[in-house]
Structure 1
């Protein structure tokens, strides 16, 4: 239930769960019982407390029988003090000054993909798959540019990235995909150790190589690449559907440069493509939402449930409202584990959406809305393809 959707919306059962107290036992695809937390305040309480809840990846792997799991070493699956040390090293790479240098390259990537879409549509009667032609390559090229990863590796990394979020293969399959990615990332790190490049990974080797093991560097690359690829791809594709369903919003983006900031923030809240946070484990007996959670229990925080809570969004939280006003949404998580790449994702979306609707003002779906192939059960909500008709002149 926490990872199912009805079109773009979480299934009604998620809202019912929140309204009935927001904390209860569920059967999660880990083969074990877990506590589901769906209310905004309770989700922030869980995510914001590293002293009461652990993120240790090895606990999840062990619970589904992967007893010899090697920790990916990244930020999302580590506890303090390791998490604190790694985040201190990485955060300077995501300051506004450093990311500003990437802005012109992101603009260039977007232009290149729009040109490619126009050409592909011209060769195919005006129809193009927005997923493969735009939503995937924009973040893929951007994150590879940031890290200094060869773009020739994108297909292999995309395969490894997507597999870990697909719960149709079960939790063991998703966790095994994480393990499968480690040899590839280890090779990438060794290449950067030998010849540090100008990207972020090369700078980490140069500035902090003596502090970071190969496993830790691989984990950081894993977290940043997968966190920045699959999620932003989904945001660009699903956000395009939102715009096609609301032509008045697309018109406002075309006419008013200032509207993009409001659009991106409301879109993040409304879509919540990362549907649940990484499982937490109670370090001690705690009480959440009036329920007693015992030490060692698994807790699943629903980001989509929290972001649709009236306590956050006010009236009509299930409606997309460009003029809702600023909310403290949890689309990027909350607390110590809030996504370090959040600003990079926003830069990509602020650049991509206005350029897309201005280049192709007559774009429309090339299939019936009921036929959009949304993923059935995935931690990162998205779709497999999105055929669109660009318009009479194909841009």
Structure 2
């Protein structure tokens, strides 16, 4: 991280401007440096002019405050000054992660609450609980297929062939996405989150592709409705009898696919990696009943969170936070992956993976009124996937030293790009 020269015209010289790695090679080290720089810092996002700063808070308690602050909006085109003033390129490759959707993640009340009530009325806790059997079937099918994915040296990429397969299978089942459409959804989600050389043409192709594919899905479920969530969202009504508009429906489905896939993919991958590199914690986990594996999930979310950076909103007025005044019209970005290791919150053992840790203060799924609706599903999937995996393959081990694993090249997601493992014991163990 390099301190940039602060121009003389800068009105906030006391707030450091820092660079962040657009490819997220080492988010934990980067976020430790961000914490050291202060409770509030600024940065320039890839593809934006140097004069356009994103503001970040680096403490978990401040992040929670942003989630509840009345002067923070999610609507970019109304409140982001740089966007209104034409400083954000119209073909900005990262726009899909910061602006533009009509899903509830990018809305304020009352529009946000209207959508949230409609979606939560059909995407209920009871519906998630009933999915336990379906999730277990998806997990066991992925386990059955794992041996067939061995490479020449006998290793299997657990991320590609297990952690990837489970959340995509579950979210596609939940949304009623038929098998022929699923590879196209996978490719589009990967394109959205990849920031390695992403161009404006890539972003435009992604936008066209996702709208065309979602149109196909909605047309299919209007013609052939089922018990899936897409069919339910097509017919759900608010208190005044109104339905989701067509664009709201498409953007809601897209948000569910992206969040329902990527978060859980990284959570499973990171949890397996953590357990395989901490044999004492793996031994402790093996002694747990199936429901007890939730402790592994929660500690993974804290110790090796699944998202690096995510938009937190835009200031509609001056806000005072962390001893700093942030003016109106500013972009706010949340830190997630490394913030769980803050020793100010978790003490001197913050950097240690310990599934016996109690009372974890969790920010992995956001806070306030925008808390992730899919959090219970992600937790359930990960718990079942981990318990079943280590039950089926008790001698599972890494096929390469942990130091050789490299993070996926993305500003947004935190997880190794591959996780090669051996399913059985071997005399040459790698730890």
Q: Do they superpose with TM above 0.5?
A: yes
Greater Cα shift, 377-386 or 333-342 = 377-386
**Which residue number corresponds to residue 107 of structure 1?**
136
Q: Is the 8 A contact 1:35 1:299 kept in 2?
A: yes
Counterparts in 2 of 1:375 and 1:138: CA distance versus 1, 3 Å: same
**Which residue number corresponds to residue 215 of structure 1?**
247
SS of 1:322's equivalent? Answer: coil
- How far does residue 115 in structure 1 lie from its aligned partner after superposition? 0.9
Unaligned runs of 5+ in 2: 1-19, 427-431
Match of 2:43 among 26, 41, 46: 26
- How far does residue 3 in structure 1 lie from its aligned partner after superposition? 6.3
Structure with the higher helix share, 1 or 2: 1
- How far does residue 136 in structure 1 lie from its aligned partner after superposition? 0.7
**Which residue number corresponds to residue 346 of structure 1?**
379
TM-score (normalizing by structure 1): 0.90
SS of 1:221's equivalent? Answer: helix
Q: Which structure has the greater CA radius of gyration?
A: 2
Match of 2:60 among 33, 40, 59: 40
Q: Distance in 1 between matches of 2:161 and 2:203?
A: 29
Greater Cα shift, 134-143 or 268-277 = 268-277
Q: Is the 8 A contact 1:109 1:142 kept in 2?
A: yes
User: Does structure 1 residue 15 correspond to structure 2 residue 32?
Assistant: yes
**Which residue number corresponds to residue 304 of structure 1?**
337
Counterparts in 2 of 1:241 and 1:251: CA distance versus 1, 3 Å: same
Q: Distance in 1 between matches of 2:310 and 2:199?
A: 14
Q: Is the 8 A contact 1:30 1:170 kept in 2?
A: no
User: Does structure 1 residue 203 correspond to structure 2 residue 216?
Assistant: no
Q: Distance in 2 between matches of 1:339 and 1:270?
A: 19
User: Does structure 1 residue 316 correspond to structure 2 residue 349?
Assistant: yes
Match of 1:136 among 154, 164, 168: 164
- How far does residue 176 in structure 1 lie from its aligned partner after superposition? 4.3
Q: Distance in 1 between matches of 2:341 and 2:58?
A: 9
SS of 1:36's equivalent? Answer: strand
Q: Is the 8 A contact 1:54 1:282 kept in 2?
A: yes
Residues 73-102 of structure 1, C-alpha deviation per residue, up to 9 Å, x if partnerless? Answer: 212122222111110011133433111221
- How far does residue 151 in structure 1 lie from its aligned partner after superposition? 2.7
- How far does residue 128 in structure 1 lie from its aligned partner after superposition? 1.4
Q: Distance in 1 between matches of 2:191 and 2:246?
A: 23
Q: Distance in 2 between matches of 1:378 and 1:267?
A: 20
Q: Distance in 1 between matches of 2:134 and 2:386?
A: 16
Q: Distance in 1 between matches of 2:33 and 2:363?
A: 20
Q: Is the 8 A contact 1:265 1:326 kept in 2?
A: no
Counterparts in 2 of 1:120 and 1:334: CA distance versus 1, 3 Å: same
Residues 277-301 of structure 1, C-alpha deviation per residue, up to 9 Å, x if partnerless? Answer: 2242111111121112111011112
Q: Map of 1:75-224 to 2, 5 A cutoff?
A: 75-121=104-150, 126-169=154-197, 176=204, 179-180=207-208, 181-208=210-237, 210-224=242-256
Q: Distance in 2 between matches of 1:204 and 1:44?
A: 30
TM-score (normalizing by structure 2): 0.83
Q: Distance in 1 between matches of 2:369 and 2:199?
A: 25
Match of 1:56 among 75, 78, 83: 75
Q: Is the 8 A contact 2:266 2:306 kept in 1?
A: yes
Counterparts in 2 of 1:299 and 1:174: CA distance versus 1, 3 Å: farther
Q: Distance in 1 between matches of 2:415 and 2:258?
A: 14
Q: Distance in 2 between matches of 1:173 and 1:339?
A: 30
**Which residue number corresponds to residue 272 of structure 2?**
240
Match of 2:319 among 275, 278, 286: 286
User: Does structure 1 residue 330 correspond to structure 2 residue 363?
Assistant: yes
- How far does residue 327 in structure 1 lie from its aligned partner after superposition? 1.6
Superposed CA RMSD = 2.6
SS of 1:326's equivalent? Answer: coil
Unaligned runs of 5+ in 1: none
- How far does residue 124 in structure 1 lie from its aligned partner after superposition? 5.2
- How far does residue 125 in structure 1 lie from its aligned partner after superposition? 5.6
Aligned residues: 389
Q: Distance in 1 between matches of 2:33 and 2:261?
A: 32
Q: Distance in 2 between matches of 1:172 and 1:280?
A: 23
Q: Is the 8 A contact 2:406 2:416 kept in 1?
A: yes
Q: Distance in 2 between matches of 1:94 and 1:248?
A: 38
